[in-house]
Amino acid sequence: MSKIRAAITGIQGYVPDYILTNAELETMVDTNDEWITDRTGIKERRILKGENMGTSVMGIEAVKGLLQKTGTDPMEVELVICGTVTADHHFPDTANIIAHETGMKNAFTFDLSAACSGFLFSLTTATQFIESGRYKKVVVIGADKMSSIMDYTDRSTCIIFGDGAGAVLLEADNENGVIDSYLRSDGIGKEFLHQKGGGSVLPPTHETVDNKDHYIFQNGRPVFKHAVKGMSAAIKEVMNRNSLTADDIAWVVPHQANIRIIESVAKMADFPMERVMVNIHKYGNTTAGTIPLCLWEWENQLKKGDNLILTAFGGGFTWGAIYLKWAYDGKDV
Ligand code: UT7
């Protein structure tokens, strides 16, 4: 009997309407379009505006579209995982809120915190439930409202991040789907990339707010170096252990943190940029949202049987790569 594989059978993304351009950022902090474009590749990012608008708002929109386009009855979905570091609340989990609002009433739900690797870690976790035969339909979401933890007076971070979400449906397939994944974590990253306040170590007080402890902190250069090393090593690892050469891969789908990181990773993995998905210029870094947003945008170019490598690196540190075979012809969607 052939192995059950967990295949992505649908993808949908959602980005908010508001576009924060480099020109607008020039009016907010001491920066300029040329620096941002040269150093990051970002031209604009989307921001979720409005009162009481959390990460779930974007996840709900993505899931609604996903269920509709795949003709999925929400009551058939058995598990929902949401990769996010900007949950609506500490609890209940954001996946729970999304499931409730989209009618997935027969599912159990949880959030997975792995920063920019959130979608990779969630997809690999979900894969186990399909491969084991335990569940038939699982929804995996990557969603972050990074603007909710952004200090818009800090030019080193506020120019990078944006808001967005993507969701995939995972189902069993005998042929295509997730073939392999290589995931890693290393606590040395905490020093360079973290959100200090708001958790159990430093609960919110007037002082933590005054100290800006609830905003993201990043020391960019070491993160940059680790990201290039981590993602290129992860790609090589999955390629080696599956006897793949660059010619066998239709697309590399990298986390969108910095165009220079993406180009360096492609170079180190000896992979041509023409087959690397890049949309960082439009959305910036949406943390767990970047990879599903790329897949969504490229969906109509993907063909059944295409070999894809997804790769990410993020806070923690967390990083890895997934090798999967795409399960349907995107042009038919
Ligand atoms: O997704 C999660 C993982 N995160 C990442 O992968 C991000 C990794 N890091 C990066 O992408 C880059 O390090 C950044 C984009 C964050 C920063 O780029 P960089 O080339 O590493 O710049 P830098 O921090 O070394 O700063 C270089 C200079 C500094 O000025 P001095 O000290 O040389 O005078 C900064 O103050 O650029 C200055 N600078 C800016 N100038 C204009 C920093 N931010 C800005 C800005 N506009 N927005």
3-state secondary structure 213-237: CCCEEECHHHHHHHHHHHHHHHHHH
Which residue type is seen at 46? Answer: R
Q: Catalytic one among 116, 226, 258, 307?
A: 116
For residue 62, pLDDT over 70 is answered with: yes
Q: Which atom of ligand 1 is nearest to the CA of 258?
A: 11
- Mean local confidence (pLDDT), 219-232: 98
Query: What φ, ψ does residue 134 adopt, rounded to 5°?
Result: -70, -40
5-175 fold = Peroxisomal Thiolase; Chain A, domain 1 (3.40.47)
Report CA Rg, the chain: 19
Cα gap 95→111, rounded to integer Å: 6
Better pLDDT: 331 or 8: 8
Q: What is the pLDDT at residue 259?
A: 98
- Residue 106 designated active-site: no
For residue 177, pLDDT over 90 is answered with: yes
Does domain 180-332 bear CATH number 3.40.50.720? no
Number of Cα atoms under 13 Å in the Cβ half of residue 225: 5
- Residue 174 designated active-site: no
Contact 166, 62 (CB under 8 A): yes
For residue 4, pLDDT over 70 is answered with: yes
pLDDT tens-digit map of 125-150 = 999 999 999 999 999 999 999 999 99
Give span(s): CATH 3.40.47.10, the chain.
Answer: 5-175, 180-332
- Mean local confidence (pLDDT), 84-88: 98
Cα gap 11→31, rounded to integer Å: 36
Cβ 290 under 6 angstroms from ligand 1: no
Q: What is the DSSP letter of 306?
A: -
Cis peptide, bond prior to residue 92, ω within 30 of zero:
yes
pTM above 0.95, yes or no: yes
Which residue's CA is minimally distant from atom 35 of ligand 1?
A: 156
Cβ 40 under 6 angstroms from ligand 1: yes
For residue 174, pLDDT over 80 is answered with: yes
Number of Cα atoms under 13 Å in the Cβ half of residue 112: 24
- Mean local confidence (pLDDT), 23-32: 98
- State the pLDDT confidence band at 330, using cuts at 50, 70 and 90: confident
pLDDT tens-digit map of 200-217 = 999 999 999 999 999 999
- Mean local confidence (pLDDT), 179-204: 97
Ligand 1 centre to CA of 296 (Å) is 29
- State the pLDDT confidence band at 280, using cuts at 50, 70 and 90: very high
Q: Catalytic one among 176, 258, 285, 307?
A: 285
Cβ 314 under 6 angstroms from ligand 1: yes
Nearest to 244 by CA among 156, 331, 183, 180: 180
Which residue's CA is minimally distant from atom 25 of ligand 1?
A: 221
- Residue 281 designated active-site: no
Could you give the percent of the chain with pLDDT greater than 70?
Answer: 100
- State the pLDDT confidence band at 76, using cuts at 50, 70 and 90: very high
Place of tokens 């967390």: 318
Cβ 259 under 6 angstroms from ligand 1: no
Q: What is the pLDDT at residue 2?
A: 78
Phi-psi region of 305 (alpha: psi -120 to 50; beta: other; left: phi over 0): left
Q: Which atom of ligand 1 is nearest to the CA of 156?
A: 44
Q: What is the mean pLDDT of the chain?
A: 97
Cβ 34 under 6 angstroms from ligand 1: no
Q: What is the pLDDT at residue 333?
A: 77
Q: What is the pLDDT at residue 232?
A: 97
For residue 295, pLDDT over 70 is answered with: yes
Q: Which atom of ligand 1 is nearest to the CA of 223?
A: 8
Strand partners for 216: 195
Evaluated on CA atoms 131, 134, 138, 142, the torsion sign reads: negative
DSSP string spanning 166-192?
EEEEEEEESSSEEEEEEEEE-GGGGGT
Q: What is the pLDDT at residue 1?
A: 61
Cβ 231 under 6 angstroms from ligand 1: no
Cβ 85 under 6 angstroms from ligand 1: no
